[in-house]
Structure 1
Amino acid sequence: MKITIIGTGGVGGYFGAKLAKAGHEVTFVARGQHLQAIREKGLLVKSIAGDIHVEQVLATDQITSIERADLVITAVKAWQIKEIREDIQQIIHSESMVLPLQNGVLAAKELSEVIPAENVLGGLCRIISKIESPGVINHFGVEPEIVFGELNKQHNARLDILSALFSEAGIKSKASRDIEADVWKKFISICVSALLAVTKTTYGEMCELKETYQMMTELLQEIYVVSQKAGVNIKPDFIEKTIGFIKSFPYDSTSSLTRDVWAGKPSEIDYQNGTVVRLAEQYGVDVPVNRFIYNCVLPMELKARNRSLKTI
């Protein structure tokens, strides 16, 4: 299968390397020194599950230079989907699958505004990883997994094809019967990332301190209420399970959004807690913790994007 990985960071680099190692024709889209290092030395994944080195790598910084991709996995930041969707449209064919692994709940919808909806799947991944240095990915937490499904909640042959593809590559995966609910479940849990950013804590530190632990619990409960207003099928015990999952993270681990905010880089805050705030307003729900966290990060986000604070 001809596979395109758009965004060769912690997510795209890891899963793309597994697929390439399994013998598929994988083209990686990357930029700058990272792209140069991949072209010169290949792609190295340092992983708690076993290192991977793909020596001969197809890599480019131009999506439109790729010919007829059968599977496109988008692993860029959530806010970059709108920047790449027209280019993706030019490299797919009628049977192509476009699988977004973005954080948030808007990626499939935003892709479908330009790309034929029948080509777009819903998807998410679980992994804690990052670019360690140019050409090197470090996977340091959570058993990697990809969850995918049809937006209309139907099961068909192409989901079986993807299941087999990931299985052969040694990637844990699940074909979801309700990808909307699964995407929302991850969305709820990742919105804790901004709390880490504001409190300057790791997951372990946040869970250790009574005050930040309480904020985390309230933040999650608020988003659950919004999900119910939106008609998403999530059971009431999900928050308790999510807290247990977060407690299992390595003590010193953080998230990509947290690290981006700390580094003064543009982040996914608008696609995480910002989305919660906007949906809460739409459904008439009060989300004081999420609103506080979003408003705290917003000035830093505007500075990172070189926008005037006067626009607030």
Structure 2
Amino acid sequence: MRILVVGAGAIGGYFGARLLEAGRDVTFLVRERRAERLRQCGLKVKSPEGDLTFACPPMTLAKDLTHPFDLILLSCKAYDLQNAIDSFAPAVGPDTVILPLLNGMAHLDALDARFGAANVLGGQCVIAATLDAEGEIVHLNNMHSMTVGERAGGRSARIEAVAAQLDGAGFELNVSEDILQSMWDKWVFLATLATGTCLMRAPIGDILDAPGGEDVLRRLFMECQGVAADNDHPPPEAVIERARASFGQRGSLLTASMLRDLENGAPIEADHIVGDLIARRRSKVEGASMLEVAYAHLKAYEARRTRTARA
């Protein structure tokens, strides 16, 4: 199976490197600047699960795509989605399977509109990784899992074939028979974590130590749960209990990657992770919406960032 990994950044680069190490037929679709960096320095991964180095990783530019791939692994940031779609479109044939690992749901709408829902799987990943100043991928802890599934539910010959390629590649692979529920469960957790830590500019432990901080997290989590329920995907009790444990852990240094991006003055996924969640709300929120307050905070950051860039 020919696999095209869109990008060689923190997420795509990490999982692509693991697949490459396992002997899979992987090609990275990169921009010219990243391609030049990889030619000079190679693809390097620093990880508690084992470092990897590929002096000459297989890669291609969008202009050089001439034939369809069997599987396209997509893990870009949401604000880069349209550019990514345009770049890999020539690699999509009638039998190509697209596996997006983005958070939220809006990317499914965009991919369906361009390539058809039948070509797009559901997927998600759990990993903390970043690019350092040298362009090397740094895996920050031991978590590195991927969950995939047919959006219609159940198991199919297609998902089994995809899983066979992804399994045994040095990271945890799960095949979900209800991938949309899995994606909603992560979205609820991530939206709570992102809005809470960005709004308070602090990790979970510091928020819990602040007067009223625990209530802020509780209200955010309840609102996010409510949106999931509005869309027929309420988190099961086991998921709720795990999330409550995470959001109630004193001394926790847990933050969202969105906070790290915000503190570094980088683009953030405010609309995709928070704005789209609010747009899907159907039930009325009693009192002030903490989710809307947090979203306004994120949009104010984006407005200031845009104004500063233009100055």
Common fold: TM-score over 0.5: yes
Structure 1 range deviating more: 17-26 or 56-65: 56-65
User: Which residue in 2 is equivalent to 1:149?
Assistant: 149
The answer as to 2:271 corresponding to 1:270 is: yes
Structure 1 range deviating more: 270-279 or 208-217: 208-217
For residues 164-179 of structure 1, the aligned pairs below 5 Å read 164-179=164-179
Contact 1:33 1:134 in 2 (8 A): no
Distance 1:88 1:32, change over 3 A: closer
What's the offset of the Cα at 1:204?
A: 3.9
Per the normalisation by structure 2, the TM-score is: 0.89
User: Which residue in 2 is equivalent to 1:211?
Assistant: 212
User: Which residue in 2 is equivalent to 1:132?
Assistant: 132
Contact 1:148 1:174 in 2 (8 A): yes
Contact 2:97 2:120 in 1 (8 A): yes
Structure 1 range deviating more: 61-70 or 290-299: 61-70
Distance 1:304 1:61, change over 3 A: farther
Partner Cα separation in structure 2 for residue 26 and residue 296 of structure 1: 40
The answer as to 2:272 corresponding to 1:257 is: no
User: Which residue in 1 is equivalent to 2:107?
Assistant: 107
1:244-276 Cα offsets, whole Å, 9 max, x none, are 346789954533211221222221011112122
Q: Which amino acid aligns with 1:274?
A: G
Contact 2:6 2:88 in 1 (8 A): no
What's the offset of the Cα at 1:34?
A: 3.8
What's the offset of the Cα at 1:220?
A: 1.2
The answer as to 2:73 corresponding to 1:73 is: yes
Contact 1:265 1:301 in 2 (8 A): no
Partner Cα separation in structure 2 for residue 208 and residue 57 of structure 1: 46
Contact 2:208 2:250 in 1 (8 A): no
Distance 1:247 1:72, change over 3 A: farther
Distance 1:66 1:146, change over 3 A: farther
| Structure 1 unaligned spans of 5+ | none
Partner Cα separation in structure 2 for residue 156 and residue 250 of structure 1: 44
Partner Cα separation in structure 2 for residue 127 and residue 256 of structure 1: 10
Contact 1:207 1:213 in 2 (8 A): yes
RMSD, aligned α-carbons: 2.6
User: Which residue in 2 is equivalent to 1:292?
Assistant: 293
Partner Cα separation in structure 1 for residue 238 and residue 53 of structure 2: 41
Secondary structure at the counterpart of residue 145 of structure 1: strand
Structure 1 range deviating more: 289-298 or 82-91: 82-91
Distance 1:204 1:86, change over 3 A: same
User: Which residue in 1 is equivalent to 2:195?
Assistant: 194
| Structure 2 unaligned spans of 5+ | none
Structure 1 range deviating more: 123-132 or 247-256: 247-256
How many equivalent residue pairs?
307
What's the offset of the Cα at 1:125?
A: 0.3
